[in-house]
Amino acid sequence: MPGLDGIALVGLASWKTIRARTASTASVTFVTGARTPVFTWRRLTPADFPLLAGWLAQPHVRRWWDHDPAPEAVARDFGPTYRGEEPNEDLLVFADGEAVGLVQRCRPADYPDYLADLEPLVELPAETMTLDYLIGDPARIGRGLGSAMLRAIIAATWIEHPRAARIVVPVAAANPASWRALEKAGMLRIAEGSLPPDNPIDDGRHFIYGIDRPSRSSRAD
């Protein structure tokens, strides 16, 4: 999932370009010399489950997510968040109005088992956030969309979660497309170690990427 070809993103999504609309819908505009791509997102709803199931069935997604794309499995695992029974966010992301991917965002502190796995490997300040993500359409991967999407989500997270001091993202070491997208989105590799793999065929070796909330001086630049 490397960045949008031919688009020079400004900083880490200049704070002046972020427009938070409501709790369920937000957008980030990146101003460039050539054009202004816009990323928007909203909460995933049951009406989106067939689209998501199709994405989860794609080989490039299934390899790393290892999620059953059957309708009942999608409803079982994504329905609780829609109903407010889970503390995470499932965000359907659009690029210039077209649905292109999913981002899951949560606090590790809300998932004690996950927190216990991460804490020995990396410092997690209070209100740390974490992300998981996918680009669904195989025709859109390898063209820069993933890192651009991540850059937008990271920038908006500082506004949508004003108490968050850090974002950390563990990624399978064997998935260079994913961790290179994080690097292009401005994240740094801050740790590595063993975590339970999403796909049991993997050995559990993960790189952990992090980015801290920008200082006031950097936001003013």
Quote the mean pLDDT of the chain. Answer: 85
Longest dimension (CA), the chain: 49
pLDDT of residue 143: 82
pLDDT band at 96 (very low <50, low <70, confident <90, very high): very high
Q: Which helix (H) or strand (E) holds 156?
A: helix 145-160
The DSSP call for residue 110 is: G
pLDDT of residue 144: 87
Cβ count near 97 (within 10 Å): 8
Domain architecture of the chain: domains with CATH? 15-220 (3.40.630.30)
Question: Which 3-state string (H, E, C) describes 34-68?
Answer: CCCCEEEEEECCHHHHHHHHHHHCCHHHHHHHCCC
Mean pLDDT for 33-37 is 43
Q: Cα–chain-centroid distance for residue 117?
A: 19
The DSSP call for residue 69 is: -
Can you tell me whether residue 129 is helix, strand or coil?
strand
Bridge partners for 92 per DSSP: 42, 102
Mean pLDDT for 102-114 is 97
E strands along the chain, which residues? Answer: 18-20, 25-29, 38-43, 89-95, 98-106, 129-135, 166-172, 188-194, 205-212
Distance CA 113, CA 48 (A): 29
pLDDT of residue 142: 86
pLDDT band at 5 (very low <50, low <70, confident <90, very high): very low
